[in-house]
A = this chain, B = another copy of it.
């Protein structure tokens, strides 16, 4: 008897379940391209993040609530959120809920800053903005930002110092269409990571970046601004940053002085 019992209730609702799985999929995504339910849920949640339905730092609906909304089991929602959490798009907090990831947080201050002091504790550098202007996108920048050559881009040049020592000279290019009101004043007023400012002021949340590193000799500009000899070896870091939907929204070209610092990387 008892060994059969677990199957009895199943026998009543089971026929609807494979149908529910498939029709659930069909209801969400019509067509021949099939993907697991939890991937579709994940994609729906990402869309809500992208659309700004839930903003950085905010609490998103609970797993049970989302399960009801999407008409799937809590386990399926859980798996979708698990992946989003692994990709740092959301942060889970036991007993409290799931929150949209934000760059305003002690924990994420150093998420995209891999330069660490050889000795002592990592701390956030002081910014000095050397130049902020709008220019027409050169070919290479336009290509990387996926915009048209000649489109407006914001160009920023800054020097970052650790304990008074100028250590990073960095040039940035941002699509003018997105970063409309970006001025030197705004940048100077702001403390902390630029990505936090971008998130709050321009609704653009960086979620991923790709970097290419090489060693280069200091040119005249770098030598002057970093107060080093012409030709000194510098770590050149070229970065493309992406927001939701793998859309590139920032180009950086940094020159790192690595006499007292190093770029830390974990391989696995």
A184 interfacial contact with B, CB 8 Å: no
| Interface pair A268/B215, CB less than 8 Å apart | no
A265 and chain B: residue at smallest CB distance: B211
What is the bound-complex CA distance between A215 and B261, given in angstroms? 10
Complex interface residues of chain A between 185 and 229 (CB less than 8 A to chain B): 207-217
**Within 8 Å CB of A8, what residues of B?**
5
| Interface pair A268/B88, CB less than 8 Å apart | yes
| Interface pair B208/A266, CB less than 8 Å apart | yes
A113 and chain B: residue at smallest CB distance: B267
| Interface pair B268/A87, CB less than 8 Å apart | yes
Binding site for B on A (CB under 8 A): 2, 5-6, 8-9, 12, 86-88, 111-112, 114, 207-217, 231-236, 239, 256, 258-259, 261-268
What is the bound-complex CA distance between A267 and B87, given in angstroms? 10
**Within 8 Å CB of A217, what residues of B?**
232-233
**A-B CB proximity, top 4 nearest:** A214-B258, A233-B233, A215-B233, A215-B215
What is the bound-complex CA distance between A174 and B88, given in angstroms? 36
What is the bound-complex CA distance between A83 and B218, given in angstroms? 44
A210 and chain B: residue at smallest CB distance: B266
A237 and chain B: residue at smallest CB distance: B265
**Within 8 Å CB of A268, what residues of B?**
87-88, 207-209
**Within 8 Å CB of A265, what residues of B?**
114, 210-213, 265
- Given the known interface contacts A233-B234, A234-B233, A267-B209, the answer about A215 and B258 at a Cβ–Cβ threshold of 8 Å is yes
Partner of A213, one of B87, B232, B259, B263: B263
A8 and chain B: residue at smallest CB distance: B5
Q: A114-B265, A215-B233, A231-B231 are in contact. List 14 more A-B contacts (CB 8 A).
A: A5-B5, A5-B8, A6-B9, A112-B267, A207-B268, A209-B267, A209-B268, A210-B266, A212-B264, A212-B265, A214-B262, A215-B216, A215-B234, A217-B232
Interface-central residue, A88, A212, A213, A235, by most chain B CB under 10 Å = A213
| Interface pair B6/A210, CB less than 8 Å apart | no
What is the bound-complex CA distance between A239 and B266, given in angstroms? 9
Partner of A233, one of B216, B239, B264: B216
| Interface pair B216/A213, CB less than 8 Å apart | no
Q: List 11 A-B contacts (CB under 8 A).
A: A2-B9, A210-B266, A212-B262, A213-B265, A214-B235, A214-B263, A215-B233, A215-B234, A215-B236, A215-B256, A239-B267
